[in-house]
């Protein structure tokens, strides 16, 4: 087992002249990438070795040089985002004890408001750093902050040891190596980016970074830049469908399509498979706290063989062989349905703020389990993600799993995706609002379909069509924003209470 930078340096020794990174107009071989990292490391350690380095840079050469330079000197990397509010970036720096912040041109605009410490601009770099390469597997490699869409953001430190088995396992499982061209579509504050960068750079593949305009047309980026491995949230499929970009066979060179971060629906997967007929499609799952992904499911090549689940989503499959997991029911005992808990070498040790650890770990025999907060159900030997523990709500005294209602709506052949949110009604009690994409004007049909399959207390009070769902910084559906958008009383009521039909006006486009 070795640290991240040691692995990358070894890759550079084996493949010095292979292309390691394409970002903007810059194309770097592995030899050039490591040299840039060594020179950046010298800059960062000029006034002493930093403990933590903030990256106020995105999709630019300074962002990747800063990442690798920090790892070279043994510092923890704290990705920031120039697009985030200044206060959020400042809080992330304060909580992690960032000593120096690396900036690009955009990050330099707000850097002085984010940190009172040194600001590193990668100009006139010194000669390469020649000190020993740190080899502490228990040192923190990076700290990511969870999305604020479900509560207060929490800092998640991931150590080199957590990545030691994961990276080579993924490289072999998903056939990443020399000749592969891996997209880096996710922001560096989202853990998908860790997969993209380090599965690629520890196996000899090329990381290809889309610029802002290319992110708006992901299918064109994949086809035009010869991408072989794509990893993103499923919402990207919905956006591409809305743009009518998923034409049959439009991405013939794509070999692996990996989707995670949200539940993947059959309709989304079918649309992508049509556009990328030569690609394996993987549905993966894993919280940031368990080092990116811990389960996966490989869809059969024939869509007619895809399993049908209770909620219309595709299974998250099986737990990786080097990861331990258990499903705990409401009584705290192993069950076929309940909260997924994980332990093993990929599980983090605790949040930056120890107070956030309260209630997140379960101690039984052996090491403690991390409570993911995700509800899963075993169906035909496969794990299916059925919702979040914090997405269970009480309606008229009954416990309702929002994912179950969403599954019924997704079964409609003209619905692309569905999200159900609970918002206070006129009397203050929670009521369900169903949001859907796809064909407009399905409110009454969906209400009738729900009425045939769900008990009265689970029926949505209102239905609303959206051209596309709002998403957060990580590209996931922003449930909080949806709740705000549907929080006003519906304009049209259905004849049978408690089901009502909402407006059919489109939402702001994502």
pLDDT at 396: 65
pLDDT at 399: 65
pLDDT at 353: 94
Q: Do 272 and 257 touch, CB atoms closer than 8 A?
A: yes
* Averaged pLDDT for residues 136-144: 97
Spatial separation of the C-alpha atoms in residues 426 and 424, rounded to whole Å: 7
**Does position 151 have pLDDT exceeding 80, yes or no?**
no
**Most confident option among 39-48, 84-93, 471-480:** 39-48
**Does position 379 have pLDDT exceeding 80, yes or no?**
yes
Tokens representing residue 267 in the block: 């309709």
Please tell me the total number of residues recorded for the chain in this structure.
Answer: 510
Spatial separation of the C-alpha atoms in residues 406 and 195, rounded to whole Å: 30
Looking at per-residue confidence, does 343 or 505 come out higher? Answer: 343
Q: Do 133 and 72 touch, CB atoms closer than 8 A?
A: yes
* Averaged pLDDT for residues 7-20: 98
Residue 509's pLDDT band (boundaries 50, 70, 90)? very low
* Averaged pLDDT for residues 221-250: 93
pLDDT at 493: 36
* Averaged pLDDT for residues 463-492: 81
**Does position 201 have pLDDT exceeding 90, yes or no?**
yes
Spatial separation of the C-alpha atoms in residues 481 and 29, rounded to whole Å: 42
What SS3 string covers 39-102?
HHHHHHCCCCCCCEEEEECCCCHHHHHHHHHHHHCCCEEEECCCCCCHHHHHHHHHHHCCCEEE
Spatial separation of the C-alpha atoms in residues 439 and 200, rounded to whole Å: 39
Largest CA distance in the chain: 76
Least confident of 247-251, 310-314, 320-324, 424-428: 424-428
Residue-wise pLDDT for 316-334, tens only, equals 999 999 999 999 998 989 9
Q: Is the backbone peptide bond immediately before 261 cis, with ω within 30 degrees of 0?
A: no
Residue 395's pLDDT band (boundaries 50, 70, 90)? confident
Least confident of 256-260, 379-383, 505-509: 505-509
Spatial separation of the C-alpha atoms in residues 360 and 366, rounded to whole Å: 16
Tokens representing residue 233 in the block: 């949230």
pLDDT at 359: 92
pLDDT at 208: 98
**Does position 495 have pLDDT exceeding 60, yes or no?**
no
pLDDT at 507: 25
pLDDT at 436: 96
Residue-wise pLDDT for 429-450, tens only, equals 678 999 999 999 999 999 999 9
Q: Do 80 and 56 touch, CB atoms closer than 8 A?
A: yes
Stated pTM of the model = 0.83
Spatial separation of the C-alpha atoms in residues 104 and 80, rounded to whole Å: 12
Residue 474's pLDDT band (boundaries 50, 70, 90)? confident
pLDDT at 369: 97
Residue 389's pLDDT band (boundaries 50, 70, 90)? confident
> How many Cβ atoms sit within 10 Å of the Cβ of residue 212?
9
**Does position 458 have pLDDT exceeding 80, yes or no?**
yes
Q: DSSP assignment, residue 308?
A: P
In the predicted model, what is the mean pLDDT of the chain?
90
pLDDT at 398: 65
Least confident of 11-20, 123-132, 201-210: 123-132
**Does position 490 have pLDDT exceeding 60, yes or no?**
no
Q: Do 504 and 492 touch, CB atoms closer than 8 A?
A: no
Tokens representing residue 52 in the block: 């933590």
> How many Cβ atoms sit within 10 Å of the Cβ of residue 436?
25
Q: Which domains does the chain have, with CATH numbers?
A: 323-388 (2.30.38.10), 396-485 (3.30.300.30)
Tokens representing residue 111 in the block: 């850097």
Least confident of 71-80, 399-408, 433-442: 399-408
Residue-wise pLDDT for 245-277, tens only, equals 999 999 999 999 999 988 898 999 999 999 999
Spatial separation of the C-alpha atoms in residues 313 and 287, rounded to whole Å: 18
């Amino acid at each position: 087992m070795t640290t991240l930078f040691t692995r990358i340096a070894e890759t550079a020794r084996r493949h010095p002249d292979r292309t390691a990174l394409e970002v903007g107009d810059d194309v770097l071989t592995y030899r050039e990438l490591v040299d840039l990292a060594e020179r950046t490391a010298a800059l960062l350690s000029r006034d002493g070795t930093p403990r933590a380095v903030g990256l106020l840079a995105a999709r630019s050469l300074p962002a990747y040089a800063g990442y690798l330079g920090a790892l070279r000197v043994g510092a923890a990397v704290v990705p920031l985002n120039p697009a985030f509010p200044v206060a959020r970036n400042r809080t992330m720096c304060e909580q992690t004890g960032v000593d120096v912040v690396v900036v690009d041109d955009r990050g330099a605009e707000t850097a002085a408001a984010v940190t009172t410490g040194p600001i590193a601009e990668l100009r006139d770099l010194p000669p390469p750093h020649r000190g020993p390469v740190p080899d502490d597997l228990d040192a923190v490699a990076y700290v990511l902050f969870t999305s604020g869409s479900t509560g207060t953001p929490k800092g998640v430190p991931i150590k080199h040891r957590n990545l030691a088995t994961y990276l080579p396992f993924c490289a072999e499982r998903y056939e990443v190596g020399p000749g592969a061209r891996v997209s880096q579509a996710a922001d560096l504050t989202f853990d998908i980016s860790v997969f993209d960068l380090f599965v690629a750079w520890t196996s000899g593949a090329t990381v290809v970074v889309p610029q802002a305009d290319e992110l708006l047309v992901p299918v064109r980026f994949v086809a035009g830049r010869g991408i072989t491995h794509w990893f993103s949230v499923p919402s990207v499929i919905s956006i591409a469908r809305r743009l009518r970009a998923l034409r049959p066979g439009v991405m013939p060179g794509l070999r692996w399509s990996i989707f995670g971060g949200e539940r993947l629906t059959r309709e989304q997967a079918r649309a992508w498979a049509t556009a990328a007929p030569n690609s394996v499609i993987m549905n993966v799952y894993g919280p940031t706290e368990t080092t990116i992904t811990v389960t996966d499911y490989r869809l059969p090549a024939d869509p007619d063989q895809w399993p049908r689940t209770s909620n219309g989503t595709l299974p998250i499959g099986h737990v990786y062989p080097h990861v331990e997991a258990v499903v705990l029911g409401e009584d705290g005992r192993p069950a076929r349905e309940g909260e997924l808990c994980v332990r093993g070498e990929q599980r983090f040790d605790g949040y930056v703020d120890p107070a956030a650890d309260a209630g997140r770990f379960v101690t039984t025999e052996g090491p403690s389990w991390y409570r993911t907060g995700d509800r899963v159900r075993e169906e035909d030997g496969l794990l299916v993600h059925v919702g979040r523990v914090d997405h269970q709500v009480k309606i008229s005294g009954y416990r309702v799993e929002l994912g179950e209602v969403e599954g019924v709506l997704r079964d409609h052949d003209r619905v692309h995706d569905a999200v159900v949110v609970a918002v206070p009604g006129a009397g203050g009690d929670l009521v369900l609002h169903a949001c859907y994409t796809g064909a407009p004007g399905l409110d009454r049909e969906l209400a009738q379909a729900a009425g045939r399959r769900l008990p009265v207390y689970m029926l949505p009070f209102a239905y609303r069509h959206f051209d596309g769902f709002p998403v957060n910084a990580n590209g996931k559906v922003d449930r909080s924003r949806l709740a705000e958008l549907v929080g006003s009383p519906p304009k049209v009521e259905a004849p049978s209470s408690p089901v009502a039909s909402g407006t059919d006006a489109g939402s702001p486009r994502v």
